[in-house]
Structure 1
Amino acid sequence: MTDMRWANEFLDSMREVCDPPADEAVQSLFTQGLVGSANELMKQLVAHETVSAEQLPVPLRGYFEQSAKMPSWADRELIREGQAVFSRCGSLSVVALVCASLPTCYAGAEGVQVLHLTARLETDTKRRIVETAQMVVDVMSPGGLEPDGWGIRDAQKVRLMHAAVRHLIRQSGRWNPEWGQPINQEDMAGTLVTFSVVTIRALEKMGYTLEPREAQAYYHAWRVVGYLMGVDERLLPEKYEDGARLADSIFARVFRASTEGQVMTRALIELMEHIIPGNIFDGLSSTLIRYLVGDSTADLIAVPASDWTQSLIKPLRLLGWVMDEGDEQNEVSAKLSELFGRKLLEGIVWVSRGHERPPFRIPEALRVSWNVRSREQQLA
């Protein structure tokens, strides 16, 4: 039964609403002829990650000051507990991101049009994955949502970039009004729950079942991020269970097959195959995606059919692992998923984002506890 708080009429209205504070800041840049300085700002945000108030164009100073404020309902203890869950899950969190969250986003037929219009698909997939993974690590690392934390900075930058993308798409004349507004509130909320609800569900499928308090803490941290990124508070329910209902309501509305979503999924799978060295995990990327998002969603984004058992057997043999009769498949697949995630994360660490972008950053404490080799260690 549909929760009446998120009935079709309300969610339809949310497709026509974007993010007024960020949109107004970007519009002011264009109106005042400050586009050049804004472009320079974006380069500085990407390359240097910190910009002083004096370096900001005047229309953006108020935006950055206001958008850094935490909501009154933010529970810092709960945030820390959610970040602790992320730290404990380690590389499984990366698998959940790349093999569940991103593919779920690609199943949204209207929302994926923004990615299609603003990306060079195959060539941009690498950068998009690395930058999304960086945001997740920054938000969920200890201290990421403290004042001046990396997570808050990332949320501010992404929110501003969304506004710039909306402006440019509207000016391009290539947007179909039937899709709603570009990066509208429903699509923003749908994307947000892939980082919380979809991730929690994926972790459980990989054998890491969260206690109710842990799930709520993880969800709460992302609820705070949603607020910082301009998501309407009516689309930020307090309880994880309500967030899960909202996720299912949105997915039921927006999931459809699209050429764009299928192309981006194929590029994602090819990238994972490329950045993980050797051939031990060949085929596991698509197998994990289908397992974590489910067959119906996997079919929409054209994930190749897979044999979960065969995908397990090959790596187990090559790694010299032997399954005892008492071993549960879930336990073995969880260990294999964790190893896959660690190799994937090392691949992300290795990948360059371009000469203007800093290298991928993982707090040293997390890198050591996750047993992820640094770029220098991989070169040795």
Structure 2
Amino acid sequence: MGDNRWTDELLDGLRQRGDPLADETVKNLFRQGQVETANALLKQLIRNDQLVPETLPGLLREYLVRTEALPSWADPERMRQGEALFGRYGPQAVVSLFCGALPASYAAAQGVQVLHLTARLATDPYRRIMETAQMLVDVLAPGGLAPGGNGVRSAQKVRLMHGAVRHLILESGQWNPAWGHPINQEDLAGTLSAFSYAVVVGMEKLGCTLSQREQDAYFHCWRVVGHVMGLEPAALPEDMADCAALAAVIQRRHFRACPEGQEHTRALIQMAEHVTPGDLFDGLAASLMRHILGDDVCEMLKVPPADWTRHLIGPLALWGRTSDELGDRSRAVAKLAEVFGRKLVEGMMWMNRGAGRPPFRIPATLRESWHVEGREPR
């Protein structure tokens, strides 16, 4: 794929389109009086990690059936390879999400306006971040993308929530059309790039050595999720190189300093410090953001300057590369996770996401692989 595939003309068109299937489902729910308010729908979706068809209105059951099928090109073996990679490097993937992919998405000044207007971070700074991390685990845990797997259900839920948020924002009268359509196809493609390409880049900067085959398998998992979540074929990157080209164009088109992106980045850093024990890791999230994203993007986001913890990053990355060369990947994962990733994951497992919401869940197989301790999933 050449870089010129992602032209401004193509992306300008994608920026004006949402997701007709999810949007129509949400409109019909309100039209038929099956959901009294937007808040009632959102609460129902947030409080139930698994959308159980028997307990939902007929329109939602129909939506689940229409959106659960994987694409014909989904490759079970490549998805298993992506799961295996996550089994080895899950804590680094979580750190890469927190300190690379998520803050980079906040730098997109138009796309971040949706987060600002829904005010979910403002009312509960940690809830949305926890739900995002939970989706990462749901998709890449063993069997997550099998028929009826947690990853498929999570993607279906998020897709419908996007439809509800679009409805709520457009009805509010607070949306600026200059930002494009709320949660549009370009922003969805950018989010897919963040979960796949950006996470892999961050993992490599944390010292993980990933073969091209492993990178492609990891990306394939997220490409399948993109399909389930309603990305149009034109908005769906073909492979890792195509995704990298998309990420570069989105950065050129949208990365700007804005108060909303800075607010969400600040909440992200505060959560990382809140869930890790004591004050030993304070400052490490900001240092890692600067290590992964570079100073230019971090200045846009007003990430604090890297402190003494920056001196930990080089030795940790070196340990990861050296251990991989020796073939001892599990030791590399455990060692890196001991410093930050494992404690971050454990902290999220012990946190309560809020009244009526299940705790952060990690399957036993992954907890054992990552050497993390926490509450049993329910």
TM-score, normalization by structure 1: 0.90
Paired-residue identity, %:
53
User: Are 1:105 and 1:194, in contact at CA under 8 Å, matched by a contact in 2?
Assistant: yes
In the alignment, does 2:22 pair up with 1:22?
yes
1:14: Cα distance to partner? 0.6
Which residue does the alignment assign to 1:338?
A: 337
- The answer to whether the Cα contact below 8 Å between 2:166 and 2:182 also exists between their aligned partners in 1 is yes
Contact 1:312–1:333 at 8 Å: present in 2 too?
A: no
Distance 2:210 2:218 in 1: 9
Report the AA paired with residue 75 of structure 1: D
Kindly state the Cα deviation for residue 20 of structure 1 after the two structures are TM-superposed.
Answer: 0.4
CA, structure 1 residues 375+61, in 2 after alignment: closer, same or farther (shift >3 Å)? closer
Return the offset for 1:373. Answer: 0.8
For 2:54 and 2:214, the matched residues in 1 are separated by: 41
Q: 1:238 and 1:135, CA in 2 relative to 1: closer, same or farther beyond 3 A?
A: same
Matched, 1:242 2:242: yes
Deviates more, 1:191-200 or 1:244-253: 244-253
- Does residue 279 of structure 1 match 2:274? no
Consecutive unaligned residues of structure 1, counting only runs of 5 or more, are: 317-326
Q: Name the aligned partner's letter for residue 309 of structure 2.
A: S
In structure 2, runs of 5+ residues without a counterpart are 322-331
Contact 2:50 2:150 survives alignment (8 Å): no
Q: Distance in 1 between matches of 2:37 and 2:120?
A: 25
The 5-angstrom pairing of residues 1-380 of structure 1 reads 3-36=3-36, 42-307=42-307, 310-313=308-311, 330-332=317-319, 337-339=336-338, 340-375=340-375
Root mean square deviation of aligned Cα = 2.2
Deviations 1:352-375 (A, max 9, x none): 011200111100011011111113
Kindly state the Cα deviation for residue 38 of structure 1 after the two structures are TM-superposed: 7.7
Structure 1 residues 41 and 260: alpha-carbon distance in aligned structure 2, compared to 1, 3 A threshold? closer
Distance 1:278 1:261 in 2: 27
Shift of 1:161: 0.3
Deviation at 1:37, TM superposition (A): 8.5
Matched with 2:327 is none
Give deviations 1:143-177, integer Å, cap 9, x for gaps: 00001100000000000000000000001010000
* 2:120–2:127 contact (8 Å) kept in structure 1: no
Aligned-partner Cα distance in 2 for 1:37–1:306: 45
CA deviations on 1:165-221 (whole Å, 9 max, x unpaired) are: 000000101000000000000011101110100000001101112101000000000
Residues 1:152 and 1:291: Cα distance change in structure 2 (over 3 Å): same
Aligned-partner residue type, residue 209 of structure 1: T
**CA distance, structure 2, for counterparts of residue 63 and residue 212 of structure 1:** 36
- Give the deviation of 1:50 after TM superposition: 3.4
Change (3 A) 1:200 1:8: same
| Per-residue Cα deviation, 1:121-148 (whole angstroms, up to 9, x for no partner) | 3442211111111111010001000011
Deviations 1:240-280 (A, max 9, x none): 11111112112211111110000111111112111111111
Q: CA separation in 1, counterparts of 2:37 and 2:109?
A: 34
Q: Runs of 4 or more off by more than 6 Å in structure 1?
A: 333-336
Q: CA deviation at 1:12?
A: 0.4
The superposition leaves residues 70-110 of structure 1 with CA deviations (integer Å, 9 ceiling, x where unpaired) of 11111111011011101110311110111111101100101
> Partners in 2 of 1:275 and 1:298 — Cα distance?
22
Distance 2:375 2:231 in 1: 36
1:125–1:271 Cα contact (<8 Å) kept: yes
Number of residue pairs the alignment of both structures matches: 363
In 1, distance between residues paired with 2:246 and 2:48?
37
